[in-house]
Amino acid sequence: MSKILLLHGPNLNLLGQRETGIYGDLTLDAINSAAQQQVRKAGIDFETKQSNAESELINIIQQSKSDNVSLIVINPAAYTHTSVAIRDALLAVDIPFIEVHLSNPHRREPFRHHSYFSDVAKAVVAGFGADSYRYALDAAINIIQKIND
């Protein structure tokens, strides 16, 4: 069975309390349960993880190879703008991934305009709030269904 890993980076555990004018009112649990429903309804296995630590995110990505993850949907959060190491981990496992952001980083401070992920991502979805996850997962489901056809 195909499997999607939804991976969240630092401070996303605080969704619902954190800068709600930018990131919205939904908690990470609410986003994850909607995501789980959406993916499982399509007959695809689903797993989600969050970490505030760069090394932990790298370990999770490395592990996803032996866990037979078919596609990763990742919001690297602040590591988007800093982490060559997470980028390298994604390239090392060679699993296609979609980069997701709640906000549109290009409308924000200049230091958020560069991503270490976008040029190697399958696609980028940003700026739709929690719906960014829904759209990205929809695309992920379509990609997997096409591969399995």
Q: Is 101 a catalytic residue?
A: yes
Contact residues for ligand DQA (CB under 6 A)?
11, 75, 77-78, 80, 101-103, 105, 112
- Taking the complex as a whole, the smallest distance from the CB of residue 103 to ligand DQA amounts, in Å, to 3
Q: How far is the CB of 108 from ligand DQA (least distance, A)?
A: 7
Smaller CB separation from ligand DQA, 32 or 75: 75
Q: Residue 146 CB, nearest distance to ligand DQA (Å)?
A: 27
DSSP state of 51: -
23 is catalytic: yes
57 backbone dihedrals φ, ψ, rounded to 5°: -65, -40
**Between 80 and 83, whose beta carbon lies closer to ligand DQA?**
80
Q: Copy the structure tokens of residue 12.
A: 């996303």
- The phi, psi pair for 72, rounded to 5°, reads -110, 130
Burial category of 134 from C-beta neighbours within 10 Å (exposed 0-12, middle 13-18, buried 19 and up): middle
Q: Which of 8, 23, 116, 133 is catalytic?
A: 23
- At residue 10, the 3 state secondary structure works out as coil
In the block, tokens 């060559």 appear at 84
The nearest distance, CB 64 to ligand DQA, in angstroms, is: 20
Residues 6+ apart with CB under 8 A from 146: none
DSSP assignment, residue 127?
Answer: S
Active-site hit among 8, 79, 101, 116: 101
Query: Quick one: 7 or 44, whose CB is closer to ligand DQA?
Result: 7
Of 48 and 80, CB closest to ligand DQA: 80
Catalytic residues: 23, 101
